[in-house]
Chain A
Amino acid sequence: MTGALTQVPAGWVPLAAVLLLALAALGATVDGALAARAQGRHWGSGLGLPMAETARLLRQRRRRTVAADRPLWLIGTGGLLVVALLMVVVVPLGRWTLSDLPVGVVWFNAMDVVVWALVWLAGWGPNSAHSLVGGYRFLAQALAYELPLMFAITAPAVAAGSLAVGDVVAAQEGLWFAVWMPVAFLVFCGAVLAFSVRAPFSAPAGADLAGGVLADSSGIDRWLLLAGRWALMAAGSAFAVAVFLGGGHGPLLPAWLWSLVKTGALLAVLVWVRRRLPTVRPDRLLPFGWVVVLPLVLLQLLVVAVVVVVGGS
C-alpha cells in the first residue's frame, strides 16, 4: 500500500462502473460525430448515434444459431465489460483508488490477457465460420501486440521502481513518463486499440468477415460486445493516463478532474486515430510487431533502465 493514494471502500465500485460506462459512451459519441462528418453531414447529427444504437439493440430480438455453445458464448459476450471494470480497479482517480495493489501493473496486464480468451470465446460460441475466423484472427494479432504491450508498461514500472500504479503516478510529479519514454507510450496506445479490436487491429471484426466475432450477435449480446469494446478502450486510456500522462498531476484543477479530463482527451484522440487508419491484415501485423515494434520498445526499456541506474547512483 502506498502513501500517496487513498484506498476507498468497495462501496464505490458502482461509481467506478458508472464513470467507466460514461467514458465508454463518450468514446462512442465522439466516434458518432466523426462518422457523421465523414459522411458529409454536420458532426452534431452523429452525437445521438450511440443512444439510438443502444435503443435499437435493446429492442432487437436475440438471434440464435444452430448448435451454438451457449455458455461459452455468453461468457465471451458479457466478459468484456467485466474485464474493463476489473482493469479500472487499479487505476487511480486523482487521489482515490479502489485498490492500490502492490502489483497493479501486472494486474492490468493479466486482465488484458483475459480479453484474448473472451474475444475468442465470442467467436467460438455461435458455431459460425465467420465469427470463429474472427476469433482466430484476434489471437494471431494478440501474439503481435501482447509482448510489445508488456514491455511498454514495464518501462514506467522500472522508472518508478514499483509495480504499484500509485507509485508510478507519484513518480511523475515533475515530468510525465510519456515525455521521456514516448516509444513505450505510443506502443501502449497501439495496444489499447488492439485489445479493443479497433483499426488498424480491427480485422477480427472486419467487414470482409461479415463482422467477424460480431457476425452472429444481435440484440443485447451485440450491445454487450460493442459496449465492452468501448469500455476496454476507455479503461486502456485511463491506465495510460495513470502510467504515462501523470495521472492526476496538473495545475489548478483538482486531481480527480485531471484524471478524467486526460482520459477523455486521450480516448478522443484514440477514436480519431482509429478512424484515420485502415484495417491491417493480421499476417502483416505479426512481422511488424515482432521485427519493428518489439526491438524498438526493448531499446526504449534499455534507455529507461540506463537512465534509472545512472540517475539513481
Chain B
Amino acid sequence: MVDDIVFWGLAVVSVASGVAVFRVDSMARATYALAVSFVTVGLVLLLFGLDYLGIVVVLMMVMEMAIMAIYMIMFMGMNPALMPMSMVHGKRTAVTVAGLTFAVLAAGILLVDWPERRGAPAADLTLSLGHAVMGSKMLVMITVSAVLFATIVSALVLALPRGRYDTDGADDGDRASGEAPS
C-alpha cells in the first residue's frame, strides 16, 4: 500500500518534471528538471530493493546534470542561454520519433509474455544482478572500466598538454596583471 503510493507519487513527479524539461524557457531550469526526473527514477529503484543502484543513479545524475548545466549554458553560443529561450527544435521529427518510441515500448510491455516468478528474490539483489548481467565476464568488465577511464584521462592529457590555464607557474607575473585574481 505504502509502496504503491510512493511509486505513483514518484512516477507522477518523474513524468511531470520530464515534461517540464521541454516547457520551461531556461537552460538551467530544463537541466535541473531533468535532474529531478532522474532522481525520482533512482528512488523508484529503491522500491525494487536495489539500494545501491538507486542511490548511485541519484549520485551520478545529479553530478552529471550539474556539469551539463555548465556546458549547456557555455556552448549555447548563438542564442545566449542566459536569456529565456525555447527548449525545443525540430518539433515535428522529435514528436514523431518520441511517439513511435513510446508506442513500441508500451506495446512491448503489454505484448511480451512475462515469465512467472520462480523462487524468491536473492538476498543481495545488487550482487545477483551483477552476476546476471556480467556473469563470468566480471573480471573483464572491471578491468575495462579502469582502462576506459585511463584512456579518457590520457587522451585529454595528450590533447591538452598545457591546458587552458598554464599551471607550471612560469608566467604568473603576466597573468596577475591580466585576468586571474591572485
Which residues of chain A have a CB within 8 Å of any CB of chain B?
A: 69, 71-72, 75, 101-103, 106-107, 109-110, 113-114, 116-117, 120-121, 124, 136, 139, 142, 146, 163, 206, 208, 281, 283-284, 287
B26 touches A107 (CB 8 A): no
A208 touches B32 (CB 8 A): no
Within 8 A of A (CB), among B37-77: 51-52, 55-56, 58-59, 62-63, 65-67, 69-70
Q: Is B143 an interface residue (CB 8 A)?
A: no
List 10 A-B pairs, minimum CB-CB distance, nearest first: A110-B59, A208-B181, A116-B66, A283-B165, A103-B51, A117-B66, A110-B58, A106-B55, A113-B63, A103-B52
A124 touches B28 (CB 8 A): yes
Knowing A116-B62, A283-B167, A284-B167, say if A107 contacts B70 (CB, 8 Å).
no
Cβ contacts under 8 Å, A208 to chain B: 181
Q: Tell me the minimal C-beta distance from A181 to chain B in angstroms.
A: 21
Cβ contacts under 8 Å, B180 to chain A: 281, 283
Interface size on B, residues (CB 8 A): 23
Knowing A136-B70, A287-B167, say if A117 contacts B59 (CB, 8 Å).
no
Cβ contacts under 8 Å, A103 to chain B: 51-52, 55
The number of A-B residue pairs with CB atoms under 8 Å apart is: 62
A109 touches B59 (CB 8 A): yes
Within 8 A of A (CB), among B133-154: none
Cβ contacts under 8 Å, B69 to chain A: 120, 124
Some 23 contacts from A to B, beta carbons below 8 A apart, are A72-B28, A75-B32, A102-B51, A103-B51, A103-B52, A106-B52, A106-B55, A107-B55, A110-B59, A113-B59, A116-B63, A120-B66, A120-B70, A121-B32, A124-B28, A139-B67, A146-B63, A208-B181, A281-B180, A281-B181, A281-B182, A283-B165, A283-B180
B32 touches A69 (CB 8 A): no
Q: Is B21 an interface residue (CB 8 A)?
A: no
Q: How far is it, in angstroms, between the C-alpha of A120 and the C-alpha of B26 when the chains are bound? A: 15
Q: Tell me the minimal C-beta distance from A82 to chain B in angstroms.
A: 14
Q: Tell me the minimal C-beta distance from B135 to chain A in angstroms.
A: 23
Closest to B180 in A: A281
Q: How far is it, in angstroms, between the C-alpha of A124 and the C-alpha of B32 when the chains are bound? A: 12
Q: Told that A110-B56, A208-B181, A281-B182 touch, could you supply 12 new A-B pairs with CB distance under 8 A? A: A103-B51, A103-B52, A103-B55, A116-B63, A116-B66, A117-B32, A121-B32, A124-B69, A139-B67, A163-B52, A281-B181, A283-B167
A110 touches B181 (CB 8 A): no
Cβ contacts under 8 Å, A113 to chain B: 59, 62-63, 66
Q: Tell me the minimal C-beta distance from B34 to chain A in angstroms.
A: 12
Closest to B54 in A: A103
Cβ contacts under 8 Å, A146 to chain B: 63
Q: Tell me the minimal C-beta distance from A47 to chain B in angstroms.
A: 33
